[in-house]
Each structure stands twice: as C-alpha cells, then as structure tokens.
A and B are shown apart, each in its own frame.
Chain A
Amino acid sequence: MAFEYYPGNSVMHRLDPRIKLLWLGANIVLGALLFDPILLTVVYANVVFLIVVSRIPWNKMSALYKGLVPISIFYFLTNLWFYVGPTKFFSLLPQYMLNGYTVSLEGIVFSLGVVARFILMVTAYRLLTLTTTVSDYVLALVKLKLPKELGVALSIGFSYVPVLVTQVGNIMDAQKARGWVFEYRNPLRRVRAMLPTLFPIIMTSIRRGYQIAAAIESKGFGNIANRTYMHELKFKPLDYYATVVCIAAMILGYYIQIITPKPGIIYTLNILYHLMGIKPP
C-alpha cells in the first residue's frame, strides 16, 4: 500500500523522479505557507487534475480518504478553539479553561484550512507513490549523491515486501493446520498467539537474507564503484517546464503569504462575511 505503483504513461508517470520530489516539495511548501481554505482548494484542485490526467482509478484515492476521516475530524476539533476570531458563536467552557473552547467563524475557517493542507499533502504524496516505481526513487536518490549501496539495498528491500508477506502467510497457515488459534479478541492474547510463528519467520528471513546476499555477490555487486544504470535519468523538456512551474508556484505562494494579513484566511472569510451579511471587523 505504502509504495503501491499504478502503471501508466501520463505526464506524472513520465516526469523525472527528482522533479517529482520537487513537485511534492512544492505542495508541502504551499501547504505550509497557505492557510486560506480557498487558496488551498486551488492547489488541491491542481493535484486532483493531475490524478485525473494520470488515470489513477478513484478507488485508489478513496481508500486513503476513508482512513483520513477520523484524523481529519480530530484535527478539525482540536484546532477549532486554537484561533478565536471576532465572530464568536458560543463557548463550551469557562474562559480560563482552554480559551473557553470558544467556537468562532474565523476559528472554523482556520480549522478547515488545517484539515485542507493536511489532505493536500497526503494526496500529493499518494499521487507521487502511485506514479513512481521504487527503482525510480532509488535512481533519484543515487543521483542526489546518496551511496549506491544504500540505493540498491533500498530497492531490494522494497521489492521483497510482497515476498515476505506471502512467507508470513505460509507460516501462519502451517501453524493453523496444526490446530493453533490466532483469532483472539484480547490484543494481549493475540500477540502471544503470534509467538509460534515468530521463530520460523525470523529463521526463514535470516536464511533468505543470506541467500539474497549470496545472489547479489554472484551478480558482481562488489564492483559497485563502476556501476552503470540501464535507465539513465536525463532531463527532458517536460522536466524543465515542470521545474519552472513548481518554483514559480512556491514563489507565488510565498508572495501571497507575505501580502496576506495574519492568520492568512482573509479570502475565505471575506466571502463568508459577505454571504452572511456580517460587517468585516
């Protein structure tokens, strides 16, 4: 799930992995600079546009969002009282406790902004992983001057995750077939029930580790200083355009952050004041 790749040939898929990392960085920077829900929605719309262009099926995203609902609600509620604006609605507590947990229009907008930037960053990260193969990350890391050994180790580590999952499944099946019960309600008993699988999992993993190491050695891994790569990273025109767009977006975000009065939610507020007929304070 964490590194699930969805094959395709879209702009996002073709982008140089380094530029993709820059793109993710731009989204994180924008998310950090901007507080206003409307502005964040504009950035988010951009990400969604790229998701559509990448032909990522919606269920790949919706599964993620379902998991985000409780966290988002938590964020929303904890930030609600954090910023108290002039348009107060009600207070839940006496003033001396937690600011009185006063809910204001400005507080609601502020909290929405917090949730929006969180969702923006997670979505951008998800799109990056869905459109990037593990070997691309590794190439990017190596190009960014990380040691080659680390790059190869990372690549092998990731490609082994599914194999290890299958192996653990087999080991659990073998113990179940000998009458062992895994399904307990009590989490403590559940952990204890895992014990008879732990030893075989560790032993087979160590053995497998040895075999993998022998296989790597046997493919000439010791010559790493002169290693070449079949896929070479070369900037294409697309990558240059994307770099310019990402940097421009970050500068624009910075500019907006400077010109917008604190706490930076004035655009959404102005619309709401207008709609609700409230005179801006």
Chain B
Amino acid sequence: MSEYDVTVENVSYTYRGEKRPALKNVTLQVKPGELLLVTGPAGAGKTTLCSCLNGLIPHFYTGTLEGKVSVRGLDTRLNGPAVLSGKAGMLFQDPSTQLLCATVEDDIAFGAENYGVPPVEIRKRVDDVIRLLRLQQVSGRSPHNLSGGQQQAVALGSILAMRPEIYVLDEPTSNLDPVGSAQVLQTISELARIEHKTILIVEHKLEELVGEADRMIVMDEGSIKYQGTPQEVLNQAEAIEAIGLKPPQVSLLFAKLRDQLNWPKIPITLNQAITALTFFLRNNGHTLQNPQLKRVPTEAEKLPPHQDEVTIEVKGLTFQYPYTKSPALSNVDLTIKRGENIGVIGQNGSGKTTLVKQFIGLLKPTSGSVRVFGMDTREHTVPEMAMKVGFVFQDPDQQIFSNKVSTEVAFGPRNLRLPEDEIQRRVEKSLKDVECYNLISENPLDLSKGEKQRINIASVLAMDPELLIIDEPTTGQDFLRGKEIMDLAMNLLKKGTTLVTISHDMNIVAEYCSRTLVMKDGQIFADGSTREIFANPQKLVQTNLRPPQITSLAQALGSFGFPNDVLTVEEMTSFIQSTIGGKQ
C-alpha cells in the first residue's frame, strides 16, 4: 500500500470522438487526510480528473487513457466504479441528476444499500447524516422539491452514508447562493478536520476555500499549471486571474501593490488581509484623507445616466404558483427607467427569477399589475412582449434546436415576422456583436458550452430588445465568461437598452450594476445604488448575503479613513496607493 491515497501518474485522456485530449500528462499525489483544492477555467479538465478517480474513466466513459491512476492502492483500470466508488465517493455538480429516490431518506440510503450494508446499520448512518446536514425537517419529502442548497446537501449525504475514505467533490456549490455554498463548504471542511478524510474538491469560489485547503492545483487546458499550498499558488494571483479564475480579492490587491507594500506573504483570507493592512498602515502612520478620495468608477458607473422614461412599472404585485400555500411574490412595487442597469440579488427561493419572469409575461400577476413599455402583461402574450423584451436563460442547451447557427439566431426575428433581408442583417450584426460571426454556418451542437452561450445571447440580441434580462451570467462557468457576457451587456446599455441581471456573484453585481435590488421572501428587501446596498453589510446579513470581499476589507479598515462603499479591487488599490503616496 502506497503512502498516498491517490496517485495519478502521467495521465492523459481523450474522450471518444474528441480530437483534443481532456487531460495531458497529469501527475498528482494526494496524501491521506489532505484537503486538495482543484481549480481552473471551464474546459480545463477538472471533471475529467474527478471521473478518473472513481473509475468512471475508463469504465463508464470509454476513450483513450494513458498513464496510471491508483486509488488506495487499487489500479483504476482493473477495478470498476462499483468497487472504487466505495473508496472514493464522488459528488457531481448538478444535484438534480444525483437525486434518485422518492424521499430524502431513501436517497441518502441508496449508496449504502448498494454496498450491502445491513439495514440496521444503514438506518443509523442515514439518521446520523440527516442530523449532520440538518435535514430533519425534510427527511420524508421528495428531494426534487427542496431548495438548491438542501438538494446539494442530500446529494452529499448519500455519499457520506457510503463512508468512503476519499471524497471527490466536483463543484458542489455551483448552483448555490452564498449561504448555501458556505454551509456545504463548512460541512466539507469539518469532514476534513474532524474525520480526517481525504478530500479533493473542485471549486471556483476560491475566497471561501483557500483558507481551509492544504494544497491547491490550478489546471488549464488539460494540464496542471500551478500547484502548491494556497499561499504559494496565490502569490501569482494576477496570473491566475488572467486565465479566467477569480482569486481572492485580497490576494489580488496585495499582488497589485506588491512593490509599494513590500509585504512578505500575500494574504489569502480576509482576516489575514485585515491584520496585514492594519499593521502596515499603523506602523507607517498612514491614514486616508478625505480630499485624497479619488473614486475609481465601476464599469456600470462609466455608463451614461439613465433616462426619465419609465420602462417597467410594477404596482402591488402579488404572485402565487398554483398548488402552493404561500405567495412567491407579495406586494412588490417597483419602477425601472429606460437605460437603468439593475442587479437582482437574494437567496435561492427569494423570488428573483419569479420577479423577472413577470417582466416578459411568462408569469402573470395573481393581483396587482406589471406594465412594461406601457404594456400590461396580463393583456399581452409572451410573443408580443418578446418584441421589446429579451430574456437570456441560464442553460443554452434548453433552447438551441437548429442545426445551423444562422437559423438558430434567425428564429427570434423570424417569429417577429420581420422581412427576410432585415433578418439576415440582424443575424450578422448580433453574431458580430458576440464575436461569433465566424461560426455562422456551424452546427451549434459542435460548439463548446461558452460558444453556445454566446449564440444564445446573439439569438436574443437579434430580436433587438429594449429591455434585456439575464438570468445568472456566471453559474457553472468561470468568472471570465461571466465578465464577457456582462461586457457585452454594457455595450447595449450605452445604446439605451435597459438591463436586469440576476446573479449570485456579488463581484459581478458590484462591477456591472448601478442599482441593486435585494430580494427576500418574495419581497424587495432593499433597493438602492449598488454602493449604498453594499455599504450596509448589517442589512445584507439579514438576507444571508455578503458584500464583495474587497468591500468588507475597506469596511474593516474604516478607522484609517477608508469609505464603506469600495466596490472593486482597482478602487481599493488606488486608495492605498494614495494613502502611501500622501504620506511620502
């Protein structure tokens, strides 16, 4: 038996039917009890690496595997997933494809049942897991009717009940709001610390995990680009940002100020950064003087001011889904003007999507009214509303149906019964806008997920919407792609389009939205400029949200004169530079 729980020796893997390898010469060892954080942009090979560890590769996904993977001494070529999954339990990204049974209890028991655990023992394990994950209230319910956070907890629970020695967790929080993901990540780190389990976790949310991980690797294009302790890896915070990841904002700040601060160790957590900066500023006698305050405008603030014309007018809106006991939206009043740029934030189930679906009439008010461009949504069909309102859904696979990109993009304009030459003009223009004109005669099925997402956006842009709604630009994607989508949207705003964006990513909202709505329990809990909203963390906490890390850092350093509404790393960098500069 080797001293490592997992050894990956010079592994390359190509999926059947693909030309490019998904993994290229990957070598990796994981020690027992280690928490290894794996990160990298979409398509970097992270999920492929996970699938190698429990034998899905090469037994379930056939393809060409080179090199050797062994898990607790077992060669994965010789042992299939049935054996290996008992050693290395794997949790996938999307909980809804892993919940297999009619009740939460049955689901948690499923894996243990397959391993022939005696029924009395299964019962005990299920009860333990339910208690650990705080699922007592829902244990008899169908897992498919739970919130995203609870679903992910159940999926994790069914792995826990199998009692593997190694946990392989593939983006366990990608569909979760900040609180849901914090809960899941906390459970995972408890597991590592208390039960001394070996954990390999793929995650984009670095801020929450780098403090817990023993080691991290950064993958890109199928191979490992950086590896070491989080501290060592994050010393290259800027390089990591450049490949499309989101390193902790505090690390980025220190990396940008490397020369001025001359700080020996780049902080990786908020607390480390607060301690470091407090020490630095106090020792050098720096404070930030108000006259020196030079705001760095966010992307949203660089845009021209909105107009006075009303785009959306919501009055006393209450909405209840059929067969439910309580309303999903109650008594919402809201006015949005032309050219406004709105971010909508809130927990899963707080009513964000339910609210924005009202703007295009996919849902109609139970009482109250919604008027968009003067049209009462109850008196107009969705196709009528779609002439002015564009809605970008999360999953491009849920709408792409043509075998040619140009037909796909032309679908919307054709439904609007535009003349054929106008349709052609719009297709070309919108594809150019999303930088995909070269794909015009491709089959959308052959494209990468990122390209599909762009085609998806182009097909909405081709309808020339005056109001654009984006439901989560970043889920299941890396940060860079979310930013690209938002950059595109900024161009539209310059032309007077109104934008409403739903996001769990506070950094995206801080950078790209000028006004923010905070939803809670089907009501608008707070509504104001993005700076005002994030300047008030006490209020945000009531909805279980947190401002961006950099905002929290500035707030913690309030006694040195930092304002409480810093939104971006650039702004904080400029403030610290002027503090230091002001003294010298």
Contacts and interface: CB of A to CB of B under 8 A. Distances in A.
A217 B463 contact: no
Given A178-B460, A200-B398, A222 B80 contact: yes
A224 B397 contact: no
Contacts of B92: 211, 214-215, 218
Contacts of A211: 92, 94, 97-98
A93 interface: no
Nearest to B411: A178
B322 interface: no
Contacts of B393: 170, 173-174, 177
Nearest to B459: A178
Nearest to B61: A214
Contacts of A159: 99-102, 142, 144
B82 interface: yes
Given A155-B102, A219-B162, A199 B85 contact: no
Contacts of A195: 401
Interface in A196-255: 196-200, 203-204, 207-208, 211-224, 226-232
A191 interface: no
B362 A223 contact: no
Given A7-B140, A170-B393, A200-B400, A177 B360 contact: yes
B140 A228 contact: no
B187 interface: no
B142 A227 contact: no
Nearest to B50: A218
B412 interface: yes
A65 interface: no
Given A170-B393, A179-B416, A217 B82 contact: yes
A53 interface: no
A167 B94 CA distance: 14
A179 B412 contact: yes
Contacts of A173: 357, 362, 393
A230 B105 contact: yes
Contacts of A179: 382-383, 386-387, 412, 415-416, 463
Nearest to B106: A135
Interface in A161-200: 162-163, 167, 170-171, 173-181, 183, 195-200
B115 A223 contact: yes
A267 B180 CA distance: 66
Interface residues of A, number: 57
A228 B126 CA distance: 14
B581 interface: no
Interface in B313-370: 357, 360, 362
A200 B402 CA distance: 10
Contacts of B386: 176-179
Contacts of B94: 211
Interface string A112-135: 000000000000000000000111
Given A199-B401, A211-B97, A213-B60, A230 B102 contact: no
B285 interface: no
Interface stretch (B116-124, B262-270, B513-521): B116-124
Given A228-B113, A230-B106, A212 B97 contact: yes
A220 B122 CA distance: 15
A198 B401 contact: yes
A191 to B, nearest CB: 15
B94 to A, nearest CB: 7
A227 B60 contact: no
A219 B85 contact: yes
A273 interface: no
Given A177-B386, A177-B391, A222-B80, A216 B362 contact: no
B90 interface: yes
A171 B113 contact: no
Contact of B115 (A160, A167, A176, A220): A220
Contact of A178 (B142, B145, B463): B463
A200 B408 CA distance: 12
A211 to B, nearest CB: 4
A220 B86 contact: yes
Given A171-B398, A178-B412, A220-B114, A230 B109 contact: yes
Contacts of A213: 60
B382 A170 contact: no
Nearest to A222: B82
A214 B391 contact: no
Contacts of A217: 56, 59-60, 81-82, 85
B430 to A, nearest CB: 13
A176 B144 contact: no
B68 to A, nearest CB: 21
A217 B452 CA distance: 29
Most buried by A among B56, B81, B112: B81
Nearest to B393: A174
B111 interface: yes
B87 to A, nearest CB: 10
Nearest to B99: A159
Given A156-B100, A229-B113, A223 B82 contact: yes
A185 to B, nearest CB: 14
A10 B381 CA distance: 47
B103 interface: yes
A158 interface: yes
B130 to A, nearest CB: 12
Contact of B82 (A183, A221, A229): A221
B113 A174 contact: no
B96 interface: yes
B399 A163 contact: no
B81 A176 contact: no
Interface in B56-76: 56, 59-61
B158 interface: yes
24 contacts: A133-B102, A152-B100, A155-B100, A158-B102, A159-B99, A159-B142, A171-B399, A176-B382, A176-B383, A177-B386, A178-B411, A178-B463, A179-B387, A181-B383, A197-B401, A199-B401, A203-B397, A215-B97, A219-B158, A219-B162, A220-B81, A222-B80, A228-B117, A228-B118
Interface of A: 5, 7, 133-135, 152, 155-156, 158-160, 162-163, 167, 170-171, 173-181, 183, 195-200, 203-204, 207-208, 211-224, 226-232
Question: Which 7 pairs show the lowest CB-CB distances between chains A and B?
Answer: A222-B82, A179-B415, A226-B116, A199-B401, A211-B97, A219-B111, A174-B399
Given A176-B386, A177-B393, A222-B82, 5 more contacts: A179-B416, A211-B92, A212-B98, A231-B106, A232-B119
